């Protein structure tokens, strides 16, 4: 259903803008599928999280980590079902752990420092981690997203330090740790993804 709607919308866009070539149309179609697939996926995520008793914690974690996740990128699974399952595992799994395994301040502070250092290194090497279906094709955009990845990584971990809601602080640390891993070549190989440059070459000016 999502694919059919995306194909229809892409065809309408190409009618309005005849200069769109097949490659660009494919990127537009992929973006539309992401948008149409994300909305019900998010509602489902929140619904399941409340059933699991971590609804508020999941919603808070989702929005706090969203900027870092958006700018740093990461792999995409090939099917909508796989994407739904991985998203629920990512957020609900981390919040369930955060709820039942509450770290003391010293251990959490140490993990935050380690997570930040690892994140800075991975961002410098791999962010923004695009995909072959939705590549980042200009150096300017890559530079902007890399800088924003540094800033949002630092900001969300600072929130984890100062937020009085300890379960949320722990959930932030766990999700950032996973997000750091999701942009690495190991994660891409495990999920059979490719970075944009592996298909289209390095970014242009």
| pLDDT (tens digit per residue) in 107-125 | 999 999 999 999 999 999 9
Do the beta carbons of residue 132 and residue 196 sit within 8 Å? yes
Looking at the predicted structure, is the pLDDT value of residue 5 above 80? Answer: no
CA 10 to chain centre: 24
Task: State mean pLDDT over 29-57.
Answer: 86
pLDDT confidence of 47, banded at 50, 70, 90? very high
pLDDT confidence of 14, banded at 50, 70, 90? confident
Instruction: Give the Cα separation of 114 and 119 in Å (integer).
Output: 8
- The DSSP code for 111 is H
Task: State mean pLDDT over 8-37.
Answer: 75
Q: What is the pLDDT of residues 156-191, one digit of tens each?
A: 999 999 999 999 999 999 999 999 999 999 999 999
What is the model's pTM?
0.84
pLDDT confidence of 154, banded at 50, 70, 90? very high
């Amino acid at each position: 259903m999502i694919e059919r709607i995306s194909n229809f919308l892409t065809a309408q866009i190409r009618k309005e803008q005849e200069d769109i070539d097949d490659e660009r149309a494919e990127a537009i179609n992929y973006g539309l599928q992401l948008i149409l697939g994300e909305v019900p996926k998010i509602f489902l995520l929140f619904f399941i999280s409340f059933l699991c008793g971590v609804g508020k914690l999941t919603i808070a974690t989702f929005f706090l980590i969203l900027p870092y996740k958006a700018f740093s990128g990461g792999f995409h699974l090939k099917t909508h079902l796989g994407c739904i399952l991985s998203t629920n595992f990512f957020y609900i799994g981390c919040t369930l752990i955060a709820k039942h395994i509450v770290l003391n301040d010293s251990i959490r502070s140490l993990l935050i420092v380690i997570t930040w250092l690892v994140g800075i290194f991975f961002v410098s090497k791999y962010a923004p981690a695009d995909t072959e279906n939705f590549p980042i094709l200009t150096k300017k955009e890559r530079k902007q997203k890399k800088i924003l990845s540094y800033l949002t990584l630092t900001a969300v971990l600072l929130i984890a330090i100062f937020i009085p809601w300890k379960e949320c602080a722990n959930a932030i640390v766990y999700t950032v740790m996973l997000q750091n891993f999701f942009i690495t070549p190991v994660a891409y190989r495990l999920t059979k993804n490719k970075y944009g440059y592996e298909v289209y070459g390095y970014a242009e000016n």
